[in-house]
Structure 1
Amino acid sequence: MKKRTPSPKITEDEFDQIYRKYYSRLFYYAYGFIEDSEVCRDLVSDVFGQAWENMARLESATVGSYLYSCVRNKCIDYLRHDQAARQYAEYFREVAEEEEGMTPEEMEERFFAVKQIIAELPPRTRFVLEQCYFNNKKYQEVADILDITSSAVKKHIMKAFAILRERLSVIKS
């Protein structure tokens, strides 16, 4: 069996060349997922920031595939978070429409009901909801804090929304 020789590690000078070579390619790759140039610039910059921090562990032979994988994953995380945020916004649009005919006292009662429901969520689900929607953290950031996957974060968010919808519909009845 032939022993694999590790590729040489990347130096700072090589990193600069890699940045110049891949930045625009990765930007357009991200743009294929997310048609928002500012978001794409931020995502690609984040990936290069991570790559810079991990430069000592990167290998010249695989750096291109590493960068593309990171950009793809960042785009997927962004789209998942964006989708959940749209669902959240839609839910609150519906709630706002219901509240149009409410008195200030009824609205105050609804507000306290929502706060109470959130306080009664399972601790991890409440933490995830608060981090994502009150502290504006990305799913991956919360996943890193809790040492879980970003899909587990999404499941906690969906669970929180389901509980909120269910409990609020009981209150309305």
Structure 2
Amino acid sequence: MKTHKDSSKITMDEFDRIYDKYYPQLLYYAYGFVEDSEICRDIVSDVFGQAWENVERLGNATVGSFLYSCVRNKCIDYLRHDQAARQYAEYLQEAVEDEEGMTPEEYEERMNNVKQIISELPPRTRFVLEQCYFNNKKYREVAEILDITSSAVKKHIMKALAILRERLSVIKP
């Protein structure tokens, strides 16, 4: 990306003022896409982190449009990933709970297959899946336990569900 040197570069004090000015506006803007205040806070915080990393390329004239554009894009990405995760969760739920047409032995075999696949997941991914799905913890709670972001927890969930879906599709009931 081509950069130019000019006097409109943002200083640290100016960045603090920009943060104070735009954070509430961006939070409200993100909530228009994603109706979960915790997720919105994560998105807006990620955007400000990205802005800080690229502060030398930002000018005062473009910072507002940059921030809004980044928040919009991150919200859209979140919604795409969230939809995929929901689809995987629905598939998994159908795969393990659909007893209709299955004998008890077939159902037990299916459950054993699911348990085996889960036991073979990478340790952190398995922990996240177990905490969220079996212990009913929220992404935020698991993120705090592991000292990672809620977004990272979602990525582990998506990874686990993708592996389960792939492996279960090979195994027929």
TM-score (norm. length: structure 2): 0.62
Are 2:114 and 1:111 equivalent residues in the alignment? yes
In the alignment, structure 1 segments of 5+ residues that lack a partner are 120-129, 140-156
Write out per-residue CA displacement over residues 77-118 of structure 1, whole angstroms, 9 at most, x where no aligned residue.
111111011001100110122358533751366338x84xxx
Aligned equivalents of 2:38, 2:23: Cα separation in 1: 14
In the alignment, structure 2 segments of 5+ residues that lack a partner are 130-151, 157-161
Aligned residues: 138
Point out which structure has higher relative CO (alpha carbons under 8 A, 6+ apart): 2
Write out per-residue CA displacement over residues 120-154 of structure 1, whole angstroms, 9 at most, x where no aligned residue.
xxxxxxxxxx8xx9774649xxxxxxxxxxxxxxx
Superposed CA RMSD in Å reads 3.6
Runs (4 or more) in structure 1 with deviation over 2 Å come to: 4-7, 98-105, 107-112, 133-139, 163-168
Give 1:53 shift.
Answer: 1.7
Question: Structure 1 or 2: larger helix share?
Answer: 1
Aligned equivalents of 2:47, 2:56: Cα separation in 1: 15
Identity level (%): 60
> Which residue number corresponds to residue 54 of structure 2?
54
Give the 5 Å matches for 1:1-173: 6=6, 8-98=8-98, 102-103=104-105, 106-107=109-110, 110-111=113-114, 115=117, 136=153, 138=155, 161=165, 166-168=169-171, 171-172=172-173
Aligned equivalents of 1:73, 1:27: Cα separation in 2: 14
Aligned equivalents of 1:102, 1:7: Cα separation in 2: 73
